[in-house]
Structures are given as structure tokens and as C-alpha cells.
Amino acid sequence: MDEVVTGIGGTGLVGVIRGRATGSGRTVGLRADMDALPIDEATGLDYASKTPGKMHACGHDGHTAILLGAAKYLAETRNFDGTVVCIFQPAEEGGAGAKAMIDDGLMDRFAIDEVYGLHNAPGLPPGEFAIRPGPLQASADEFRITVTGRGGHAAEPHRAVDTTLVACQIVVALQSVVSRSVDPLESLVLTIGTFRTDSRASNVIPHQAVMEGTVRALDAAMRDLAEARIKTIATATAAAYGATAEVAYERGYPVTVNAAENTDHAARAAEAVAGRVLRDIKPIMPAEDFSYMLEARPGAYIFMGNGDTAQCHHPAYDFNDQAIPAGCSYFVTLVENRLPATA
């Protein structure tokens, strides 16, 4: 590489490769995520994680290997006119590493014009690709609802305001957001993931109950609707039972939106490698912080087959090394197509 810069957005790393010519003045960014997950690995493989509670359960190590392989080839051949910026990004798994790198000047500092990323896809045969223009992955918001009532003795509920009862009513009422407030042709997921009270005894009515959840949507309007309905339902339901509810709503990763033109560029490169590409797959509701990069620059995100393996984030997941050559070839072909060498 012509230049390696570390410490971008914390522990992010960027490698710059200049083509045999740079007359085009254009720069293509290629991104790979690097982080692992807080999961105990259960693959039993010789190369399984040796660190308890940490494993590459989403294949980011494979993504990094793919970008390294592509970078090696591009640096050796330089058969393109322009500049390639290889982005090795930390903290995709909830840490918003992409945003941190952008906030640290990634796009402007390296004059990136368009940006591309990929992710392995269990269930899709190795060497195959899938993509779609427009929304590809959902946004991810988090919320916490704190219900406060009046604690008391379980044998005298009339002297208390039972926060467990109130919180349960809120959980049930929140299910109406998707079923009764959202157009059936739109996509929205609202899930309560945790529920706890401040009591550890069966004969105590807790003074407070707390629940936490996530909202996934494919457009900004659905995010706004969900936030408004959660706050209204929680506060009004609590008030109906003589309690109060405080809602903390935090916006997370935005929707991953592929630009139409760049999606076509990505699909053409993948077709050159695989011969066939699924061009109009359905969006999925997990989130991806590459969305921040696609908000900053036009580009596209593509799925690459991982074969018949455990799903991502599963203790038995294993990245399929047979997918690496196709991934490397995809990145190289994309660069050479977008930055064609002059005669």
C-alpha cells in the first residue's frame, strides 16, 4: 500500500492504493468490519476462539481477509486509474464504528467518491451474491420504559400501585403499534427484550418496573411513528392504573440504503465473478452501521454466500473460507470497472 493510516475513529485503519494512473481523480472506498461478539464459541474447530466470551460469530474476520486479499492484488497489479481506499472498520456490532470514522474525517480526508461493502450470508451458496437497490437493512433504535407506582405487600394490593401489572399491560398494548398503527405493506418490528422489577421477593409488589426493547424500520417515517406511539401508549397506560411511565428513546443505526446506480455497478461486478446475482432480494430487519457510510457517500452493500452454516451471531457459526476468493474477486472487479485503466 502507498499509505497506511491508523487511529481513525479510535482503532480504525485505512490503506491507500494508487493506480497505475490517477488522471481520473476518482476514489473508491472498500470497507470491511473487524470486530467480534461477546459469545462463547461452540464450533469445536481447531481455530476456534481462545478467548472466553469472544468469537467471530458474524464473519467479520472473513470480511477482513477478503479486503486484505483484494488489497494485495490491487497493490501488485495497479490496473486502475484512480485511488482505492481500503477501510478496516472497528465496532460494527453496536459501537457505530463507521460513524466514528466518518466523524474523524474519513470521507473528506481521503476524498472518497463512492463506497462499497459486503457481508457473508448463511443459506446462500458460496460464490453467489445478492443485492437490491433502496432499503436493504433496517434501522435499529433502542428504548427503555421505566414504570413507577407504589410498592407494597403482595397480600394488600389495594394499598399499592402494582408496577408489574402496569408494565405487563404496556407490553401487551405495544403489540398494537405494528398490528394497528402501521400500513400492512410497510415493515416495522417492535420487540421487548428485557423486563425486570426492583423486587426479589414473591410477597412484594415492586415500586418500579423497567423494560427495554428495540425498534426496526425500513424508512424514517416508521421510526417516527414508532417512537411517538411508544411514548403515548406507555404514559397513557400507566396513568390509567395510577402509575407513571418515563420513556427514553435512542436513535441507533439508520436504514441501510443502496443507491440505485451503485447497486447496478456492484451487481455487474458480482455477475462477472459469479455469473449470476440475485438483484432484488427482500430487505432484512437486522441493522448495519455501513448505513452511515451510505448516508455520507453513494454506494452499495452486497451479500455473499456463506453456504449451509449456522446463522450469524450463533455460537456454532463459522465463516466459510471457500467464499474468500469470490469476495476478493468481487472487490477487485468492482474497482477495475469503476476506475478503468487508460490505454
Are both 144 and 120 inside the same structural domain? no
Q: pLDDT tens digits, residue range 203-262? A: 999 999 999 999 999 999 999 999 999 999 999 999 999 999 999 999 999 999 999 999
Residue at grid coordinates 455520507: 296
Dig out the grid coordinates for 192 from the structure: 421487548
**Residue 284 is part of which domain span?**
3-137+256-338
Are both 88 and 189 inside the same structural domain? no
Task: Count Cβ atoms within 10 A of the Cβ of residue 47 and give its class: 0-12 exposed, 13-18 middle, 19 or more buried.
Answer: exposed
Give which of 130, 195, 123 is closest to 165, Cα–Cα. 195
How many independent structural domains does the chain possess?
Answer: 2
Q: pLDDT tens digits, residue range 57-80? A: 999 999 999 999 999 999 999 999
Residue 343 inside a domain? The answer is no
What local confidence, expressed as pLDDT, does residue 342 receive? Answer: 81
Are both 289 and 279 inside the same structural domain? yes
Are both 76 and 201 inside the same structural domain? no
Which among 234, 250, 266 is the end of a domain?
A: 250
pTM over 0.85: yes
Q: What is the CATH number of the domain that holds 276?
A: 3.40.630.10
Are both 174 and 97 inside the same structural domain? no
Task: Count Cβ atoms within 10 A of the Cβ of residue 57 and give its class: 0-12 exposed, 13-18 middle, 19 or more buried.
Answer: buried
Q: pLDDT tens digits, residue range 77-104? A: 999 999 999 999 999 999 999 999 999 9
Are both 15 and 66 inside the same structural domain? yes
Give the DSSP letter of residue 255: -
Q: pLDDT tens digits, residue range 108-139? A: 999 999 999 999 999 999 999 999 999 999 99
The residue ranges of DSSP E strands in the chain, in sequence order, are 3-8, 12-18, 27-33, 83-89, 114-122, 129-130, 134-137, 139-148, 152-153, 188-197, 204-205, 208-217, 244-250, 256-258, 277-278, 299-307
* 282 φ/ψ sector (left φ>0, alpha ψ -120 to 50, else beta): beta
- Cβ atoms of 99 and 289 within 8 Å: the answer is yes
Are both 226 and 264 inside the same structural domain? no
Which among 250, 280, 308 is the end of a domain?
A: 250
Q: What is the mean pLDDT of residues 181-196?
A: 97
* 88 φ/ψ sector (left φ>0, alpha ψ -120 to 50, else beta): beta
Q: How confident is the model at residue 268 (pLDDT cuts 50, 70, 90)?
A: very high
Question: What are the φ and ψ backbone dihedral angles of 190, each rounded to 5 degrees?
Answer: -130, 115
What would the DSSP string read from start to end of 179-217?
Answer: HHHS-TTS-EEEEEEEEEES--STTEE-SEEEEEEEEEE
What CA–CA distance (Å, rounded) separates 91 from 10? 9
Q: Is the pLDDT of residue 343 over 90?
A: no
Q: How confident is the model at residue 182 (pLDDT cuts 50, 70, 90)?
A: very high
